[in-house]
Structure 1
Amino acid sequence: MIPFSLQQLADITSGTLHGSNVTIDSVTTDTRQVEAGALFIALIGERFDAHNFCQQALEKGASAILVSRQLELNVPQVIVEDTHQALGLLAQWMHQQSKAKTLALTGSCGKTTVKEMLTAILKQKGQVLSTAGNFNNDIGVPLTLLRTDMQDDYAVIELGANHQGEIAYTTHLVQPDIALVNNVAAAHLEGFGSLDGVAQAKGEIYQGLLAGGCAVVNLDCYGVHFWEDTLADKTVVTFSVDNTDADFYAKHMQVNQQGAPSFILVSPQGEKAVHLPMIGKHNISNALAAAAMAMQAGASLEEVISGLQMPSQVKGRVEAIDLNERIRVIDDSYNASVPAMKAAADLLANYQGKRWLVLGFMAELGAESQALHKEVGEHAAQYNFDYVLTFGEDTAIISQLCQQTGKTCAKHFSTHDTMIDFIKQHLIQQPDRQAEEKHTLLIKGANSSKMSQVVAALKETYA
């Protein structure tokens, strides 16, 4: 973080300083993360007002507070009209102090994976500021930018959204040199209204590029036509899994028995084989996106290949875990969308032995939820998995459709506990353990479906 004074803060945010002009080198919005000498920013949300926690922040060592009303506390305070907006202004100012080349990305699926791939590539070239965890909303992005260091060579910033205008706001703060919409899918429809609404919202990232900035575009993506006018004065670089008109594409794609893909990366710098250290054929598209962005930032083909092949595992995102010689869990419990659910079924189909598709619901789909869950069920039914288990009201159609094949044991559950009990009853170890087929359980769902509880229970029992 770049240190600043409270008077600088007041100037940046059009606020007023009350008290000493102390220097700040740590900022937090969470009293649990207060460091000695930190600035505590009192945000106001729908269900909380952090002004009520300023005293607690001071007791933990904060040396100043940013508030929207003056408090009767013996501490330097900067008073602003809106602490949320002030957080963004401070973050924007801080990031502008750095000379880092900034790459921003959004999308309905895979953006965290692309971020991790891209970060691994660029770390070979210099110091990289990268989004941590899921800090990708209108609070998380500013907090990421506040980690800016003057020595940063690159910044890789992930932008998420669940309503129109959110990406426009965070892109304005980030001011990227290179931007990507990884894909567009039926996700957060309650906030976006329709798939067209998702495409328009994701395209806000391109509107934040200055004239001549680089837009990396997925030719396989829905909604590209929405962005044509915005992209007219931008440098456009394209990628596609198999469209040879793209600047970056793949050929000779294969998936091994463990589900890990390999392919030939075709790029403007030449062709080279890639062996991804993660499972899922869908990650080929993510790798192409990362390669396109990285090369636009100055990476060589060799650096791209090396970075893509570095192991990088994000918890809850397609993480294969052998609990013992009989039971493998593929933990993909962090999030879910229609293409991601379909990709999960495609991945599971690569495995031998007993195959379990264990699904929680997809969230924030609004009136289209039932139809979209049905779409997933129709896709999964073709594989005749041994077991298809579902949790959540709208997922029942998935197990019903899979049951109709007559080859799948499909069950729907109203609680995690009953689902876990069913799984355990069917995984009882037999005396001759070596002769029994291996069970592979792929577990996926929206974060709010809490399918991680199923993963945790299996780890506790069998690991």
Structure 2
Amino acid sequence: MSQPHFTVADILAVTGGRTGLGGDTPINAISIDSRELGPDALFVAIKGDRFDGHDFVEQALKDGAVAALVTEGRGDGAGRIIVPDALEGLRDIARAARERSRAVIVGVTGSVGKTTTKEALRVVFEAAGSTHASIKSFNNHWGVPLMLARLPVSAQFGVFEMGMSAPEEIRPLTRLVRPHIAVITTIAPAHLEALGSLDAIARAKSEIFSGLEPGGTTILNADHGQLDVLLEEARAAGVGRVVTYGEARGVDWQIVNIESLPESSVATVEHEGQRYELLLNVPGRHMVANAVGALAASHAAGVEPAVALRALAGFGAQPGRGARTRLGPSGRPLLLIDESYNANTASMTAALDVFARQEAPGGRKIIVLGDMRELGTQSAELHRSLAPAVLAAGADRVYLVGPQMQALAEALGQGRVAAHTQTAGEMAEIVVADLAYGDAVMIKGSNGVGLAGVVEQIRNRFERA
């Protein structure tokens, strides 16, 4: 019989909680969503922005959770483990999972490419050994401890994504994760509203160094203007080893040429006198950069480049981050490119550059762009700056969503925008009515704009060939 992930006794020991449950009760899954409970699940009742998990404790227990971790004063009864604070209890469990682990742990942050790089690392590590990685974009104050609490004792590799929208948000996350390797993908205009400048963004991302294990390694993309800030912060934090990558000269892993094809990418990478051919099942310079970041990080973790390159050859874009789907008849499909999860000027320009090389299967090229959020006083200027990339993309129709996109509409000029709506819901009806089989459509904007709903409606309409 296999060892349980935790027992109730283990949970009591690390949280200081109390319960009427037997100490040998196994805990083999940990969840904060009462709708997603694995076998022998512990439901953790945390209070979020929209929901309070304590309202769902009874339902979770009815649906099969063996226990619920609840905050003192928020109800008692059968099946509950009562602690001073449920979220802090989750962090206690995460610390315990990390403490017992012998895995090589990688932490990933950056303005753009965090999730893609994390997924590329997951693919590489899975080819080399037992791997645990964050799911979706669980990278915040509850997502990171939840992912860490699930870290199996048998894992050989662990990959954790860390995000932020303000200073001092990454520091507590990285001190939980305690990575051996810290990756910063790039620095770009994101969360300017809270941080004010690119240098301030770089310093906030550099908080990841404060949790780095002694003698640890940082992997830094060099293709941005804040590399010196990151190097300064790495020195101040006493980082043991710094490895750089990108197209810049003199980096440790240098991308010397890239061929971005409509459906794939080919690149040559040089490292310590060796040349490697990188093949990816996804187009775009930015995707090559993310893959080379994963190549460098996995090498630092002890994975041979040949193993990593074989794994990366099958790597594709993730939903909301460039995933490409052909809908309808094979001879004349609708090509849907889903970039709906996030947007800042760097990711927008990269996606538009890829779309410029994309031909429609047999119809028109259509772009739907939503607001780039949290850009503060520079928002109008940064939205206007997208105009050359939009024009170069060669779209037959351009649709814009959100109030911030007014600046881009003005920069593009009269007659260049097919429609501009304030909400994604309004745009969904317009775009679905306009699209036809044979078209290629790319949809990109900040997650809060809700363009994922437009993607879903397009899929619902055009999947029925």
TM-score (norm 1): 0.89
Say if 1:217 and 1:236, in contact at 8 Å, map to a contact too: no
Partner SS, residue 398 of structure 2 = strand
- Counterpart position of 2:405: 395
- Residue 132 of structure 1 and its aligned partner are, at CA, apart by 1.1
Give the letter for the 1:148 counterpart: L
Describe how 1:42-441 pairs up with structure 2 within 5 A.
42-70=45-73, 73-75=76-78, 77-232=80-235, 233-256=238-261, 258-268=262-272, 270-323=274-327, 324=329, 325=332, 327-352=334-359, 354-403=364-413, 408-416=416-424, 419-423=427-431, 426-427=434-435, 439-441=439-441
CA distance in 2, matches of 1:247, 1:279: 23
Say if 2:182 and 2:212, in contact at 8 Å, map to a contact too: yes
Percent identity between matched residues is 30
CA distance in 2, matches of 1:85, 1:428: 51
- Counterpart position of 1:435: none
CA distance in 2, matches of 1:93, 1:117: 27
Say if 1:248 and 1:292, in contact at 8 Å, map to a contact too: yes
- Counterpart position of 1:449: 449
Taking a change above 3 Å as real, the CA distance of residues 73 and 360 of structure 1, as seen in their structure-2 partners, is same
CA distance in 2, matches of 1:417, 1:12: 46
Structure 2 unmatched runs, 5+: none
- Residue 298 of structure 1 and its aligned partner are, at CA, apart by 0.8
22-31 vs 328-337, which moves further? 22-31
449-458 vs 200-209, which moves further? 449-458
- Residue 285 of structure 1 and its aligned partner are, at CA, apart by 0.9
Partner SS, residue 89 of structure 1 = helix
Structure 1 unmatched runs, 5+: 430-437
- Residue 237 of structure 1 and its aligned partner are, at CA, apart by 3.7
Taking a change above 3 Å as real, the CA distance of residues 90 and 427 of structure 1, as seen in their structure-2 partners, is closer
CA distance in 2, matches of 1:110, 1:264: 20
CA distance in 2, matches of 1:198, 1:29: 30
394-403 vs 420-429, which moves further? 420-429
Give the letter for the 2:25 counterpart: T
CA distance in 2, matches of 1:2, 1:90: 14
Taking a change above 3 Å as real, the CA distance of residues 415 and 20 of structure 1, as seen in their structure-2 partners, is closer
Say if 1:180 and 1:217, in contact at 8 Å, map to a contact too: yes
Say if 1:279 and 1:318, in contact at 8 Å, map to a contact too: no
Give the letter for the 1:245 counterpart: G
Taking a change above 3 Å as real, the CA distance of residues 81 and 191 of structure 1, as seen in their structure-2 partners, is farther
Say if 1:280 and 1:347, in contact at 8 Å, map to a contact too: yes
- Residue 411 of structure 1 and its aligned partner are, at CA, apart by 3.2
CA distance in 1, matches of 2:189, 2:337: 23
Give the letter for the 1:241 counterpart: G
- Residue 459 of structure 1 and its aligned partner are, at CA, apart by 2.8
344-353 vs 41-50, which moves further? 41-50
CA distance in 2, matches of 1:173, 1:403: 50
CA distance in 2, matches of 1:3, 1:254: 45
Give the letter for the 2:243 counterpart: T
Say if 1:282 and 1:343, in contact at 8 Å, map to a contact too: yes
Say if 1:262 and 1:274, in contact at 8 Å, map to a contact too: yes
Q: What is the total number of aligned residue pairs between the two structures?
A: 452
Describe how 1:6-45 pairs up with structure 2 within 5 A.
6-17=8-19, 20-25=22-27, 26-35=29-38, 37-45=40-48
Partner SS, residue 307 of structure 1 = helix
113-122 vs 230-239, which moves further? 230-239
Partner SS, residue 87 of structure 1 = helix
- CA offsets 1:370-394 (integer angstroms, 9 cap, x no match): 2221122343234553222101111
TM-score (norm 2): 0.89
Say if 2:44 and 2:69, in contact at 8 Å, map to a contact too: yes
Taking a change above 3 Å as real, the CA distance of residues 113 and 442 of structure 1, as seen in their structure-2 partners, is same
CA distance in 2, matches of 1:226, 1:394: 30
174-183 vs 366-375, which moves further? 366-375
- CA offsets 1:82-127 (integer angstroms, 9 cap, x no match): 2212211111211221211101101111111111111111212110
Partner SS, residue 124 of structure 1 = helix
Say if 1:274 and 1:309, in contact at 8 Å, map to a contact too: yes
CA distance in 1, matches of 2:182, 2:451: 32
Say if 1:2 and 1:94, in contact at 8 Å, map to a contact too: no
